[in-house]
């Protein structure tokens, strides 16, 4: 609900102003809000969600292959009044009905037909009683082939297929992989947003330290100028401070440009335009305190929660189903159909029935070892998937130990650098006081200032090292919030 309210407010304000994401758009985001926003608008995630939607349609495509299919066709054919001629092997000479009956009577009066009556010819096939002489006298016949039109409706249904059943199971696993890929992409986006958010805060922290140092040195420079005018300092002291200030000013400009680059990187991960005014509401110190990196060292690693392992395990299941799929090639396939032909226009010579129904049995008999070879290949692919999963398990265990080792080192280094900053700051303050009293040279002061800035830089790097190490460990454990 918090996430929904945030998004509504986020988009209501620009609409009330009559503007979208333009140069006047402003976003103030905490780290958790930035993650939620990226999960909704990151373009890589949009592509991964489309892949999930595509896999759902692909699953239904597999299921629908075993459901009833209905097809309709409408045909029209013309023969241009063609006349079909056929004969019984007789002469092409035409006979009138009277001539044909006279010839038949003459044939029946012959000795071999003396005991045959006309009723016998009606009750039996004429070909069994006629001799070649009678058949030769039958005239040829013609049939006019008129235009023909037929509307056909057919229903087909797969009754049994082992491949169909295994195919649906495989399609479901493929959809599961697409959903796991979406989760993996979400994890990547979270990591990228968190890392970019940290980088902006680190850069702002560095910029703040440098600006404060520049302000202090400018005060020292003004004080030194007055001392030089009073003859209490040398010109080299003034020049040395100016050189240091110029170097720090260049460093400040460089960090400022890097800050804008880091902001653009964060905008890209959030799916924002580059001209959007973005403000981060979380502070580095508060985030670091909430992080509690030492607690991560106490967590146990459950390899089943790792997204890469989940995808690999599902791929192994798919390879196992592919073995079943190839084995089902030995089984028969049964399908049935019913068709109805509605005859709109028909010729005088139509032998097609209106109703038809049937069953089709496909039985594999002999393939010269092809099916067996496919089964063996699928089994090898399955064993390869098992072996790859075992390798991944070893790699993830090794990676977990390495990430814990990195985090432990980063925490220890952070503690050291944190103490070094306190010491370097104390030394710098001491030399500054001595310089103002004329007891230390400008060279000693600038050296102490450089040591202090170096300690601050090492401290900032140590903080970033801890953040990155904790981030890597959380991602490995699928524990990014």
Give the pLDDT confidence of 315-374 residue by residue, as tens digits. Answer: 999 999 999 999 999 999 999 989 998 888 777 667 778 899 999 999 899 889 999 999
**Residue 181's closest CA among 50, 317, 270?**
50
- How far is the CA of 403 from the CAs of 130, 166, 295, in angstroms? 102, 41, 14
- Mean pLDDT for the stretch of residues 452-457: 92
Asked if 324 and 442 count as a contact pair (C-beta separation under 8 A), the reply is no
Confidence of residue 80 (pLDDT cuts 50, 70, 90): confident
Q: Give pLDDT, residue 437.
A: 81
Q: Is the pLDDT of residue 36 over 60?
A: yes
- Mean pLDDT for the stretch of residues 123-148: 59
**CA within 13 Å, CB half, 283:** 4
Q: Is the pLDDT of residue 297 over 90?
A: no
Give the pLDDT confidence of 168-198 residue by residue, as tens digits. Answer: 999 999 999 999 999 999 999 999 999 999 9
Task: Write down the mean pLDDT value for the chain.
Answer: 83
Q: What percent of the chain has pLDDT over 70?
A: 83
235-270 and 442-476 helices cross at what angle (nearest 10)?
20
Q: Give pLDDT, residue 476.
A: 94
Q: Give pLDDT, residue 259.
A: 93
Angstrom distance (rounded) from CA 407 to CA 402: 9
Q: Give pLDDT, residue 145.
A: 78
Q: Is the pLDDT of residue 287 over 50?
A: yes
Q: Give pLDDT, residue 440.
A: 84
Contacts of 40 (CB under 8 A, 6+ apart): 7
Q: What percent of the chain has pLDDT over 90?
A: 53
- Mean pLDDT for the stretch of residues 405-426: 95
Q: Is the pLDDT of residue 111 over 70?
A: no
Asked if 158 and 63 count as a contact pair (C-beta separation under 8 A), the reply is no
Confidence of residue 459 (pLDDT cuts 50, 70, 90): very high
Pull the structure tokens for residue 395.
Answer: 């790699």
Confidence of residue 26 (pLDDT cuts 50, 70, 90): confident
- How far is the CA of 123 from the CAs of 88, 236, 278, 353, 464, in angstroms? 20, 140, 102, 27, 107
Beta-strand ranges (E) seen in 219-332 are: 277-280
Q: Give pLDDT, residue 11.
A: 37
Q: What is the pTM (predicted TM-score) of this model?
A: 0.76
Q: Give pLDDT, residue 13.
A: 38
Structural domains in the chain?
28-71+159-476 (1.20.1600.10), 88-139 (no CATH)
Q: Give pLDDT, residue 321.
A: 94
């Amino acid at each position: 609900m918090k996430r929904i309210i945030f998004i509504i407010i986020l988009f209501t304000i620009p609409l009330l102003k009559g503007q979208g994401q333009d140069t006047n758009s402003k976003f103030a985001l905490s780290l958790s809000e930035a993650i939620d926003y990226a999960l909704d608008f990151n373009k890589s995630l949009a592509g991964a969600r489309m892949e999930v939607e595509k896999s759902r349609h692909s699953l239904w495509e597999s299921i629908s292959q075993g459901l009833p299919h209905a097809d309709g066709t409408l045909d029209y054919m013309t023969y241009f009044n063609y006349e079909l001629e056929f004969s019984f092997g007789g002469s092409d000479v035409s006979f009138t009905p009277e001539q044909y009956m006279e010839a038949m009577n003459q044939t029946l009066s012959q000795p071999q037909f003396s005991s045959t009556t006309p009723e016998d010819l009606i009750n039996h096939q004429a070909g069994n009683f006629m001799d070649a002489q009678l058949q030769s006298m039958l005239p040829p016949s013609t049939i006019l082939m008129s235009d023909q039109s037929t509307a056909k409706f057919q229903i087909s249904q797969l009754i049994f297929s082992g491949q169909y059943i295994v195919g649906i199971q495989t399609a479901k696993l493929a959809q599961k992989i697409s959903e796991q890929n979406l989760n993996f992409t979400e994890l990547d986006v979270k990591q990228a947003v968190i890392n970019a958010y940290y980088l902006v805060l680190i850069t702002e922290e560095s910029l703040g330290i440098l600006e404060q140092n520049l302000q202090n040195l400018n005060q020292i420079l003004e004080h030194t100028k007055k001392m030089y005018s009073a003859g209490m300092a040398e010109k080299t002291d003034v020049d040395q401070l100016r050189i240091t200030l110029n170097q720090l000013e260049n460093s400040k400009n460089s960090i400022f440009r890097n800050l804008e680059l880091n902001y653009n990187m964060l905008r890209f991960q959030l799916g924002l335009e580059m001209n959007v005014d973005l403000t981060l509401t979380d502070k580095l110190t508060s985030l670091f305190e909430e992080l509690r990196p030492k607690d991560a060292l106490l967590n146990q690693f459950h390899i089943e929660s790792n997204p890469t392992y989940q995808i690999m395990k599902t791929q192994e299941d798919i390879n196992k189903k592919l073995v079943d799929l190839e084995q089902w090639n030995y089984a028969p396939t049964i399908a049935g159909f019913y068709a109805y032909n509605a005859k709109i226009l028909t010729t005088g010579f139509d032998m097609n029935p209106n109703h038809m129904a049937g069953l089709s049995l496909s039985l594999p008999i002999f393939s010269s070892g092809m099916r067996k070879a496919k089964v063996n290949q699928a089994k090898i692919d399955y064993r390869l998937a098992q072996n790859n999963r075992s390798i991944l398990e070893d790699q993830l265990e090794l990676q977990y130990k390495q990430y814990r080792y990195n985090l432990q080192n980063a925490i220890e280094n952070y503690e050291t650098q944190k103490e070094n900053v306190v010491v370097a700051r104390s030394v710098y303050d001491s030399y500054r006081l001595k310089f103002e009293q004329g007891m230390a040279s400008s060279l000693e002061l600038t050296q102490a200032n450089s040591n202090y800035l170096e300690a601050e830089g090492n401290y900032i790097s140590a903080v970033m090292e801890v953040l990155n190490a904790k981030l890597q460990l959380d991602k490995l454990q699928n524990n990014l919030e």
